[in-house]
Structure 1
Amino acid sequence: MNQQEPQYFVLIVPGCLLLLGLAFLLGRWILRDQRFLSWVAAGYIIPSLALSAQSLMTNAQLADWSVVIATFYLFGSWAVAQGMAVRNGSHAHPCIALLIAAITLALLFYFSHIDDRLWFRIVILNAGIALVQLLAVRSLFARPTPEDLSERVLNISYSVSIAYTLARPLVVYSFVPAVDMDNLTRSNLWLLMLATSVLLCLWFALVVFAITVRDILLKVSDERYRDSLTLLLNRRGFFESAKIFMSQPGDQRYFLLVCDIDHFKHINDNWGHLEGDQVLQVVSRTLLTNVRGGDLVARFGGEEFVMLMKGNNMTDASSLAERIRYQLEQTTFSHSAEKVTGSFGLVEVNSLQDLPAAIGRADALLYQAKNAGRNQICVTA
């Protein structure tokens, strides 16, 4: 009975990996835009098949099937690396991965069919897997250190996985005498290593699932609080963001600039709605490029834009508004030589509670600018 217990136990580990892989596939089916989940699923399912076979083999069988089993492990490791890279808008260098796999498999063939050395095979396979895993590291760490804790946990977890892959041969070398190598897959150390592997895989899967849920919530939030055409804040998003923006400590002064595109109906009627959409996008980019980080830019609807910004005084805020007005005036569009201009109303906001009233005051100044001939800025006295 005792002799059979390890046999049943080792099948639990690949079974867990298989279930995790199927869970990732289910997640990919539900979340159609999360393409990286397909790769991560393959990275769990394919090695689970190899591990289940490997754990039940004798040393002689391991030698005979080492190249096939290694192929499964290498592809599974690359699939996870590819998934991590795809998530960051990159790829895990498939050509380099093929080269690493070819060299690894050639060495494994030699040390299994020509010169049977189990220890060498363990070192070669783990080194090959680690090199394949490293192909995703650049895409993970190419960006500045992420401020989001979950992103840092994901990067660290992936790095720990690589470190563990490199450490496995050292563990085997340190704790398994050469005379016991033939019984490695029946040893307690092998069971401990399998248990460690499945725990790391479970942890990594939980981190990936948590980040996927986080990304979905952020996307839903963006869809709720952002304008789909310009990707600026919408009215709801503006007021929600203003609560945080204006609650920061310190003696801050805030200024509100309202912009309305002149003769926008004429643009749509004469140039077409596609050109009108392009005008809205250009105006939104012009506003964004002239504000400081943290300042709020929103599209309230139609051709009306609102900016909430910090400043030292009204003179500085007026200079910024004039710079925006001038840039819009100088912008040309593909289907017409006509200029696109904007009218502006600029006021100071006394407090968060004053914000709705400040918008009303800025709107009144905006209409003064339009009545005075458009393409100008009216500032509160």
Structure 2
Amino acid sequence: MNSLNAQYFILIVPSCLFFIGLAFTCCRLFFKADIFLLWIGLAYTIPSIALFAQCLMSNPQLTLAAPFTSVLYLLGSWIGAYAISLKLNTTFQHRIAFLIFFSALIALTYYSYIAPQIWLRLVILNIALGSIGVLVFPDLFRQLSNSRSFDRWVFIFYFINVLYSFVRATINFFFLDNIDHNHIALTSSNWWLLGMSINIILNILFAIVLSGCAIKDVVYHLNNDRLHDPLTHLLNRRGFFEKTASLSFTSQSYFLVSLDLDHFKSINDTWGHYIGDQILYGVSQMMLKDKQTEDLIARFGGEEFICLFIAEDAAAALMRIQHYKTLLEQTTFTNYQIKMTASYGLTHIHNVHDIEYALQRADDLLYQAKTNGRNQISFDLML
């Protein structure tokens, strides 16, 4: 590769990294993607600025600028590790990262202005970059086996990138200390070109995996929004029917209850829809706290909630709903300490084809409970 082509190549690498990072940042800012992408975008763009500047520098200029460019590299590593911790949903050790950052900066300043040594600066910088990345490894390894496919590849490529920092440090330590840096410009050397080549390959592969992960998250959230009620985060009607379609009714006794809050219209008329929404959300949270693993809880609209659950027999099912009734009566909602009651329609489900009919029976029983004075359970079970 001639010098002109080499110059173009080394400038293309940081430019690509910058625009990859910019794309990830825009995904968060304009399309409301996961905040993890914002930090990953910054982890790409910030070091790329330092890399672009270094590619235009001579060895003496690299020495003068080393502490400043190192700050950008170290910030990029710190932000990248923090982004991975967000993906892992764990706490990042910022204090240890700051200690590594500050210690490396002191050493880099010393080997820039007091005892200039390019190869030692490269060793120190790469060790520091890798050490910051290692901070998330314990959590990463704990969650790796349980991660979804794209998430797992994100973690694997992050591990490879961190490992590559230590590989670079090892190469610099054993092979670059004997090079005469007074006669060879580091940024046009074969070592620099090789490092750039590996760097762009790893980062593009990482970006591809990140893009796949981002697309998967968007699809997941869209599907989640399609199946859930936006106010209470319970299943909506569509989500309820999709979930029940996959259930097996052969070995379990399923029961269905439809509950409707009593006099809810008067709440909206007296307190307003905002307070009404708070009560609906509070009821949903009460039901979720009491939720069993197999339960399906949905809001079908307005103040009507549906719960599909398993019980040993009809008596156990009735006891479960009586517990619901007591729990609701004892709960106060909003800062106005509003108390609510509900009417319940409880029925048994025999098979998957009985869902629609069971909902109709539960609705009829609910209407019966309302007609009989509200705040009661109406059922058609054989006790």
Provide the TM-score with structure 2 as the length reference: 0.86
Q: Distance in 2 between matches of 1:264 and 1:62?
A: 71
Distance 1:294 1:203, change over 3 A: farther
Task: Give the structure 1 partner of residue 30 of structure 2.
Answer: 30
Task: Give the structure 1 partner of residue 192 of structure 2.
Answer: 190
Distance 1:334 1:7, change over 3 A: closer
8 Å contact from structure 2 (residues 259, 304) kept in 1: yes
Instruction: Please identify, of 14-23 and 335-344, the stretch whose mean Cα deviation from structure 2 is larger.
Output: 335-344
Q: Distance in 1 between matches of 2:254 and 2:147?
A: 27
Q: Distance in 2 between matches of 1:63 and 1:173?
A: 18
Cα-to-partner distance string for 1:319-359 (whole Å, 9 max, x where unaligned)? 21111111011112456676421221222212222110110
Task: Give the structure 2 partner of residue 313 of structure 1.
Answer: 313
Amino acid at match of 2:226: R
Task: Give the structure 1 partner of residue 217 of structure 2.
Answer: 215
8 Å contact from structure 2 (residues 36, 87) kept in 1: yes
1:106 to partner: Cα distance: 1.6
- Is residue 168 of structure 1 aligned with residue 168 of structure 2? yes
Task: Give the structure 2 partner of residue 115 of structure 1.
Answer: 115
Q: Distance in 2 between matches of 1:305 and 1:320?
A: 15
**Among 201, 204, 217, the residue aligned to 2:203:** 201
Instruction: Please identify, of 352-361 and 370-379, the stretch whose mean Cα deviation from structure 2 is larger.
Output: 370-379
Where do 1:241-260 residues align within 5 Å? 241-244=243-246, 246-247=247-248, 251-260=251-260
Q: Specify the SS of the correspondent of 1:297.
A: strand
Instruction: Please identify, of 261-270 and 343-352, the stretch whose mean Cα deviation from structure 2 is larger.
Output: 261-270
Amino acid at match of 2:206: F
Q: Distance in 2 between matches of 1:347 and 1:108?
A: 73
Amino acid at match of 1:215: D
Provide the TM-score with structure 1 as the length reference: 0.87
Amino acid at match of 1:238: F
Q: Distance in 1 between matches of 2:31 and 2:192?
A: 37
Amino acid at match of 1:233: L
Cα-to-partner distance string for 1:192-226 (whole Å, 9 max, x where unaligned)? 32222112211222222222222222222233221
1:45 to partner: Cα distance: 2.2
Amino acid at match of 1:318: L
Instruction: Please identify, of 183-192 and 105-114, the stretch whose mean Cα deviation from structure 2 is larger.
Output: 183-192
- Is residue 42 of structure 1 aligned with residue 42 of structure 2? yes
Where do 1:221-232 residues align within 5 Å? 221-232=223-234
1:177 to partner: Cα distance: 5.8
1:270 to partner: Cα distance: 3.3
**Among 222, 229, 236, the residue aligned to 1:234:** 236
Instruction: Please identify, of 212-221 and 87-96, the stretch whose mean Cα deviation from structure 2 is larger.
Output: 87-96
Distance 1:152 1:23, change over 3 A: same
Amino acid at match of 1:153: W
Q: Distance in 2 between matches of 1:300 and 1:368?
A: 19
8 Å contact from structure 1 (residues 261, 343) kept in 2: yes
Amino acid at match of 2:179: D
8 Å contact from structure 2 (residues 119, 176) kept in 1: no
Distance 1:74 1:292, change over 3 A: same
Amino acid at match of 2:21: G
Task: Give the structure 2 partner of residue 15 of structure 1.
Answer: 15
Q: CA RMSD in A?
A: 3.0
Unmatched runs of 5 consecutive residues or more in structure 1: none
Unmatched runs of 5 consecutive residues or more in structure 2: none
Q: Distance in 1 between matches of 2:145 and 2:379?
A: 42
Distance 1:336 1:97, change over 3 A: closer
Q: Distance in 1 between matches of 2:286 and 2:180?
A: 69
Q: Distance in 2 between matches of 1:256 and 1:339?
A: 25
Where do 1:1-381 residues align within 5 Å? 2-32=2-32, 34-85=34-85, 97-134=97-134, 146-174=146-174, 176=175, 178-180=177-179, 182=181, 183=184, 185-244=187-246, 246-247=247-248, 251-333=251-333, 339-381=339-381
Q: Distance in 1 between matches of 2:135 and 2:147?
A: 23
Q: Distance in 1 between matches of 2:22 and 2:127?
A: 27
1:90 to partner: Cα distance: 7.3
